[in-house]
Amino acid sequence: MRDSRALDQHAPTHSLSIDIGGTFTDFSLLDLRSGEVLVHKVLTDTEDPARAVIVGASEVLAAADTGFERLGAVVHSTTLATNAIMERKGAKVALLTTKGFRDILEMGREQMYDIFDLKALMPAPLGPRYLRRDVS
């Protein structure tokens, strides 16, 4: 039978949330025992976003006087991919859709972003039609 003190010594004490944005990488560290939340922010390294994750996570854990080994969960989110799509940057990609919806994004059947601008133009498609495929 194990000593319960030994189990507690290795039990998770914190959960970490990381959100990589185009300018900042944000951290939220939850103390699972007290419910206290510590927040931290570092500049995103656009050449190597993982660098900001390591630096920022290390800093927020140090501020809470804990370490990576005490994390019970790490949740990651990012807007980098969304920003790249919106700005039309990044690698050439294909779009797979449900059968019959190959052109749904180009059709733009939702409301225009400025319903009062009679000269508003629809944005260019995210990719050329030959790179869009529908699948069953």
Model pLDDT for residues 67-111, shown as the tens digit of each residue = 999 999 999 999 887 777 778 777 888 888 999 988 887 776 555
CATH class of 4-84: alpha beta
pTM score of the predicted model: 0.64
Say whether pLDDT at 124 is over 50: yes
Residue pointed to by tokens 């190597």: 48
**pLDDT at position 50:** 93
Domain locations in the chain as residue ranges: 4-84, 94-136
Burial call 46-65: b when 16+ CB within 10 Å, e when fewer: eeeeeebbeebbeebbeebe
**Beta-bridge partner residues of 24:** 43
